[in-house]
Structure 1
């Protein structure tokens, strides 16, 4: 799938955002390695901690349907600036691989492409937990 098409799908998801507090709608479109696309929008809550970002909404939808291999995620927000995933979203994205492509778009014709590793270098991943088994904190 072309990046422009993924951005277009993310923009459609953005229209469904529930953002009565920030008034900052964000949309995401996630492409799996099987070719399926899952969308997400940000969903706010009066107790701000209950808010969920567009990227995580799309990931959770994909994972809840059995998908674990993510190829790319397009993210759109303000058409006048690039809207990057927050720190929590970056950590959730890297859970599924360091080479996932992030297409950060202002419009379908104005976007940048990164890997999650570009945006979250030196990340803590499931591999780190595996390496630490038997060596971390066992003497406490």
Structure 2
């Protein structure tokens, strides 16, 4: 189904709002993520750092937790934005651990949207970001 520009911008707006609430006093690299679940609802999360690295959590993990708390278990698409505390957004792809977390709920066709520094949007499937992946169907 084609993605409308308005729907995609709403997803990025939720990710940007989450980024603004991130807690990153050590790296000062703020990240926000927003998921659209299988029912069309949006769930957002931000990164939360901790003085005892690596105990912080990624924005994608926070958004997934919010989605599950709301009763959903399917990621249709996710937008991720990140960058320095007082700077423009940079291309911010999910880390390897988050790619696997997205795989748990999104499957290979989940769309991952990233915004380039110049504002262009790059959309990839999770299969493109995590090829030859291991998922729930393997168990």
Partner SS for 2:54: helix
Stretches of structure 2 that go unaligned for 5 or more consecutive residues are 1-5
**Contact (CA 8 Å) 1:4, 1:108: kept in 2 or not?**
no
Judge which range, 35-44 or 98-107, deviates more.
98-107
Distance 1:59 1:19 in 2: 19
Judge which range, 14-23 or 57-66, deviates more.
57-66
Distance 2:94 2:119 in 1: 20
Residues 104 and 90 of structure 1: is their aligned pair in 2 closer, same or farther, counting only changes over 3 Å?
Answer: same
1:21 corresponds, among 20, 26, 46, to: 26
Residue 90 of structure 2 corresponds to residue 94 of structure 1: no
Residue 55 of structure 2 corresponds to residue 50 of structure 1: yes
Scaled by the length of structure 2, the TM-score of the pair is 0.87
Structure 1 runs, 4 residues or longer, greater than 4 Å off: none
Distance 2:26 2:93 in 1: 19
RMSD between aligned alpha carbons? Answer: 1.6
2:129 corresponds, among 110, 116, 119, to: 119
After superposition, residues 1-140 of structure 1 pair within 5 angstroms as 2-78=7-83, 79=88, 81-96=90-105, 97-106=107-116, 109-129=119-139
Higher strand share: 2
Map Cα deviations across residues 17-39 of structure 1 (whole Å, 9 max, x no partner).
00011100001111011111101
**Contact (CA 8 Å) 1:17, 1:42: kept in 2 or not?**
yes
The total of aligned residue pairs comes to: 129
Scaled by the length of structure 1, the TM-score of the pair is 0.86
> Residue 106 of structure 1: CA displacement?
3.6
